[in-house]
Copies of this chain bind each other. A is one copy, B any other.
């Protein structure tokens, strides 16, 4: 299997990207990685490691797309960017998957424009898996589409189900609709109509899920439009960050509390591990005709390595093929 990686994406590139790739080729057999980006920069970086040089190659790409650029414009103009070159490898069948920790907007726009949608999928969706108290959960869509139609949400649910069953090996996952009330008639036009459609489908549909319940992880696949999903994702991060930074400040404020903090170190470490989004790799962009994985902008080498593992599992389980079969069946 060949994996293309945007060498210049993310807050700590290229070094964490390179390190993640080096770790991955040591751990997973049968993979080859093509890293895209300015040749000189990348060569200097990989030269710091000893590794099997047949497993990693570099594809020169002179341009870089930053987070501040208009995503669609940037993808259209910068055809020699590290993101574009990586996506192109999948399009040309020179790679089986592509990973980037760079600009989410540019990666999603590029994946749609360059790699293209699976025929029959109306809207590809960004689908991160997050750690919940009682297990992992997926929020789909987390921001690929700022507006969605009810039938889009049904496709999101199906793609999420396929992913959960095959990647996370959780059979017959529960599907919930994120809504601002538990009752069927609650919500806006989108959720009311989507609720009706989801109920008619062959899912393990558990109905509406209020955002308060999301972090428990009791429901596996949570569907919503991209604006809501992105809000959920960012609130999850923001609230956790605020709580822990506040606790940390307070713990450091006296001898007693410092001692308490030291005694609770295993608790905080376990918490950090249990709620580490990096464990699940990146966010899959489901519905495009190729394995496209968006790693978090703040990814470290472990997150990159896990995104590579995720791409491998994705490939071995032929998720794209399974989505295609489902969509075709529905269209006949």
A250 in contact (CB, < 8 A): yes
Q: Which residues of B contact A241 (CB under 8 A)?
A: 212, 215
B188 touches A211 (CB 8 A): no
Kindly specify which of A54-62, A226-234, A278-286 makes contact with the partner chain: A226-234
The 8 A CB mask of A57-82 against B (1 = contact, 0 = none) is 00000000000101000000000000
Instruction: Say yes or no: is A247 at the interface (Cβ < 8 Å to chain B).
Output: yes
The answer to whether B231 touches A180 (Cβ under 8 A) is: yes
Q: Cβ of A48 < 8 Å from any Cβ of B? A: no
A331 within 8 Å of B (CB atoms): no
Known A188-B147, A231-B232, A247-B271; contact A180-B238, beta-carbon cutoff 8 A: no
| Interchain CB contact under 8 A, A227 and B188 | yes
Report A174-205 CB contacts with B as 1/0, cut-off 8 Å: 00001011010111110100000000000000
CA distance A264 to B263 in the complex (A): 10
User: Does A261 sit at the interface, judged by CB under 8 A?
Assistant: yes
User: What B residues does A242 contact at CB under 8 A?
Assistant: 132-133, 215-216
B143 pairs with A180, CB closer than 8 A:
yes
In the complex, A31 has a CB within 8 A of chain B: no
Q: Which residues, 131 to 186 on A, are CB-close (under 8 Å) to B? A: 132-133, 143, 146-147, 178, 180-181, 183, 185-186
| Cβ–Cβ < 8 Å partners of A113 in chain B | none
Interface size on A, residues (CB 8 A): 61
- Say yes or no: is A325 at the interface (Cβ < 8 Å to chain B): no
A206 at the interface (CB under 8 A from B): no
Chain B binder among A21-29, A36-44, A93-101, A252-260:
A252-260
A271 contact set on B, CB distance < 8 A: 243, 246-247, 250
List B contacts of A266 (CB < 8 A): 256-257
Whole-angstrom distance between the alpha carbons of A188 and B149 in the complex?
13
**Does the CB pair A212–B227 fall under 8 Å?**
no
Whether A213 lies near B238 (C-beta < 8 A) is yes
Q: Does A235 contact B (CB under 8 A)?
A: yes
Given contacts A260-B261, A262-B260, A266-B257, contact A235 B237 (CB under 8 A): no
A227 touches B180 (CB 8 A): yes
Is the pair B237, A212 in contact by a Cβ cutoff of 8 Å? yes
- Interface check A267, CB cutoff 8 A: yes
Please, which residue of chain B has its CB at the minimum distance from the CB of A188? B146
Residues A234 and B250 in contact in the complex (CB < 8 Å), given A146-B188, A228-B227, A257-B266 = no
Indicate if A210 sits at the interface (CB-CB under 8 A).
Answer: yes
A256 to B263 CA separation, bound complex (whole angstroms): 6
> What are 9 residue pairs bridging A and B, where the CB atoms are less than 8 Å apart in the complex?
A132-B242, A211-B230, A227-B228, A239-B239, A256-B266, A259-B260, A259-B263, A260-B263, A263-B263
Besides the contacts A212-B234, A239-B243, what 18 more A-B pairs have beta carbons closer than 8 Å?
A68-B183, A105-B181, A147-B189, A178-B231, A211-B231, A212-B237, A212-B238, A214-B235, A214-B238, A231-B232, A232-B235, A235-B235, A239-B240, A243-B243, A257-B264, A257-B266, A260-B260, A260-B263
